[in-house]
Amino acid sequence: MGEAAGLYFETHGSAQAPPLILSSGLGGSAGYWAPNLAALADHFHVIAYDHRGTGRSDRALPETLSVEEMAGDVARLMDALAIERAHFVGHALGGAIGIETAARTGRIDRLVVINGWRALSPHTRRCFAARLALLHGAGARAYLEAQPLFLYPPDWIASHDGALSAELDPHLAAFPGVATTAQRIAAVQSYSPGPAALAAAEKMLVIATRDDFLVPYAAAVDLAEAAHAEVATFGWGGHACNVTDPEHFHRIVLEFLRS
């Protein structure tokens, strides 16, 4: 664990192994990757970090937050840790950060984007509008109580209801605040990578989940087609398929990163 360039980070696995950066989605927390760390750290030097404004990182944000600025944070973290090049796995917003980091720096080797997009679907915009209405109208607790609906399949929520309820108070204590969350949603909604950005990663894998409630399957496939990337389809798992189906996720991602 440590802090560099204003970002909290933690490392897992041998420092002699190839570096692999993990970037989470809207929540921004390194803790999102807990179900995946052991499997990935068997093969890579894993660096997971809290996005600026979230978790244990610097909570101060620039006046206008953007995915481009978030990519700049990754570049600064790589500089601080003396990482010249790295593989990158990003979930949703984290995938956009990976695309933009590759475009801005040319320092990303293999890139995995989990349930990302090239152009935000109108469906996803409606989801974000509903989440913002909850956030501003009912507060952070209601926002967090609804969050699993956007992340996980119904049957997984039902079988993990107790654990999800137990996580609510810790998540509320770590919540970055209404203003920061609204800024992050605005940054997500305004980002749409062009052809040059999509071509920047040396090799890209897009994971697309058919039952993703937040980002439609077609949007992830569209990203892959525009980037001439490989596609791995999950038939089940929801938006956070690396959490709900980690064994399938590990098989696909490790095969891609190690090939």
- Three-state secondary structure string covering 144-202: HHHHHHHHCCHHHHHHCHHHHHHHHHHHHHHCCCHHHHHHHHHHHHHCCCCHHHHCCCC
pLDDT attached to residue 14: 98
pLDDT, residue 191, reads 97
Q: Which residues pair with 207 in a beta bridge?
A: 114, 232
Fold of the 2-258 domain: Rossmann fold (3.40.50)
Cβ neighbors of 155 (< 8 A, separation 6 or more) are none
* pLDDT confidence of residue 143: 98
Helices (H) and strands (E) in the chain, counts: 12, 8
The tens-digit pLDDT sequence of the chain (259 residues) is 899 999 999 999 999 999 999 999 999 999 999 999 999 999 999 999 999 999 999 999 988 899 999 999 999 999 999 999 999 999 999 999 999 999 999 999 999 999 999 999 999 999 999 999 999 999 999 999 999 999 999 999 999 999 999 999 999 999 999 999 999 999 999 999 999 999 998 899 999 999 999 999 999 999 999 999 999 999 999 999 999 999 999 999 999 999 9
Instruction: Give the domain ranges of the chain.
Output: 2-258
* 47 secondary structure, DSSP code: E
Confidence at residue 64, expressed as pLDDT on a 0 to 100 scale = 87
Q: From the centroid of its chain, how far is CA 169?
A: 22
Provide the residue type at 11 as one letter.
T
pLDDT value at position 79? 98
pLDDT value of residue 63? 85
Q: Could you give the C-alpha distances from 33 to 10, 79, 110, 170, 249, in angstroms and in order?
A: 11, 23, 18, 16, 12
State the Rg of the chain over Cα.
17
What does pTM read for this prediction? 0.98
Q: Dihedral of the CA atoms 9, 10, 12, 18 (nearest 10)? A: 20
Question: What count of other Cβ atoms lies within 10 Å of the Cβ of residue 108?
Answer: 27
- Amino acid in position 133: A
